[in-house]
Chain A
Amino acid sequence: DIQMTQSPSSLSASVGDRVTITCQASQDISHYLNWYQQKPGKAPKLLISDASHLETGVPSRFSGSGSGTDFTFTISSLQPEDIATYSCQHFDHLPFTFGPGTKVDIK
């Protein structure tokens, strides 16, 4: 199975800050990488698919990049409503595995 790692596991930043999260796959997954946002007590929400495709309705401050084994998720200007846990997920082949998540909060 492909293992997904994320760093950092948590971060605290100020409103307006640029936030970057990295995700690494244990083997080449091309661009088959998604990013989900999960707020406390809520279901995950798909933000970015195919490593860099922003889903309809998702604010443009969110972005993703990368391919192969190394991926990056960025919030260009952190907003209070972005407080959540962000998880990467590969969909190269089953089983789809998720990263452990990065908890983002406001400093």
Chain B
Amino acid sequence: QVQLVESGGGVVQPGRSLRLSCAASGFTFSTYSMHWVRQAPGKGLEWVAVISYDGSDKYYADSVKGRFTIFRDNSKNTVYLQMNSLRAEDTAVYYCAREVGGLANSPFDYWGQGTLVIVSS
């Protein structure tokens, strides 16, 4: 069965960096675009970034552009989110999600359980 397992969250000081990982199993990872979506405490969902199946295309929300980088290693069935220059407003649960088909033109059919990032001094 499809599984997405995030890791790497934790408490980090403002201005520091953190790298999140999302390990995939149960499907052919290298054929799917993958997204990161976050949810601040008590708030709605916010799309963060997407990467194409082969890593050649990447897009970001304006709120993270220039600070976050999405990348993937298809040999390890893992997608990453490198988060630099973290701010208090980046505090959220971060989910990885699989896109049904294509790149940025279809729903997210599987989600991980999320990993919590807290940015605080």
Question: Is B30 located at the chain interface by the 8 A CB criterion?
Answer: no
A76-95 vs B: 1/0 string, CB under 8 Å? Answer: 00000000000101010111
Q: Is A34 an interface position by the 8 A CB rule?
A: yes
A18 touches B (CB below 8 Å): no
Query: Which of B45, B59, B100 gathers most chain A CB within 10 Å?
Result: B45
Q: Is A45 an interface residue (CB 8 A)?
A: yes
Q: Chain B 92-116 against A: per-residue CB contact (8 Å), 1 yes, 0 no?
A: 0001000010001111110111100
How far is A101 from B112 in the complex, measured between Cα atoms in Å? 19
Number of A-B contacts (CB under 8 A): 51
| Given A55-B109, A91-B105, A94-B50: A44 touches B100 (CB 8 Å cut-off) | no
Q: Could you tell me the distance between the alpha carbons of A37 and B90 in the complex, rounded to whole angstroms?
A: 23
Tell me, in angstroms, the Cα distance from A104 to B102 when the chains sit together.
32
Interface residues of A in 25-58 (CB under 8 A from B): 34, 36, 38, 42-46, 49-50, 55
Q: How far is the CB of A50 from chain B (nearest CB, A)?
A: 8
C-alpha spacing A95/B105, complex, angstroms: 11
9 A-B pairs closest in CB distance: A43-B111, A98-B45, A49-B107, A34-B107, A100-B44, A96-B47, A94-B104, A101-B44, A95-B61
